[in-house]
A = this chain, B = another copy of it.
Amino acid sequence: MPFTYEYPRQALTVDCILFGFDWAASRGGELKVLLIERLHDPFRGSWALPGGFLDEADPTVEHAAKRELAEETGLTNVFMEQLYTFGDAGRDPRGRTVSVAYYALIKLADHPVRAGDDAGNARWFSLSEIPALAFDHDQIIRTASERLRGKVRYQPIGFELLPRKFALSQLQNLYETVLGQKLDKRNFRKKILKMNLLVEGNETQANVPHRAARLYQFDQQRYEELLARGFNFEV
């Protein structure tokens, strides 16, 4: 059942960049990106970002991104933000395709991943060990990483990337990873605590071969206040 139009039309796709923070990575945390293995041509067998064609039934483009993500990786309830639209001629060997990319930050532990219908496999890759990707997806990931580095300055990204309860050193480690630079421990703590964004819990780490760290949580209400009124976290 073909579809016919008076003028040529380009294909419209969405792609999803999901970032997770892997605290357990040996000696310092790592940022990871979720990739799927393509089951169909073009680039069959290659790793790629989850994504696919916009559907007539999708009420919004963002909806299409969430739908494709769920279909290919099983992930749901992910808050996505639009990143950028990629549409250079030649980015898809099938013909002109324009892709709207969305990105999200999620807690790795809360979102187990499984391969879905259109994907042979789904896996988290460290940013530093990403294989050759289909289409211009390496370029998309670079753009997303830059955006993340920018976002960290005016939004508390730990809220989305860390487990509900975390040690301050984990939060600092996350910032150091995203920003690519070491931060002073005492100054970091002073600054982050002064924001009144964190609630000190009663628990501490368990089974660590050193003094156990106190665990904190984000204060949801305070977080929303900060977002609404504008926020600034200069390093």
Contacts and interface: CB of A to CB of B under 8 A. Distances in A.
Contacts of A133: none
Contacts of A59: 88-89
A137 interface: no
A2 B2 CA distance: 12
A9 B12 contact: yes
Given A59-B88, A98-B61, A100-B87, A9 B6 contact: no
A71 to B, nearest CB: 16
Interface residues of A, number: 27
Q: Of residues A10, A11, A53, A84, which shows the largest number of chain B Cβ atoms within 10 Å of its Cβ? A: A10
A61 B90 CA distance: 12
Q: Give the copy number.
A: 2
A100 B88 contact: no
A8 interface: yes
A4 B88 CA distance: 22
B3 A6 contact: yes
Given A9-B12, A54-B87, 17 more contacts: A3-B4, A3-B5, A3-B6, A3-B8, A4-B4, A4-B5, A5-B9, A5-B11, A7-B53, A9-B9, A12-B98, A59-B88, A61-B85, A61-B88, A61-B98, A87-B100, A98-B100
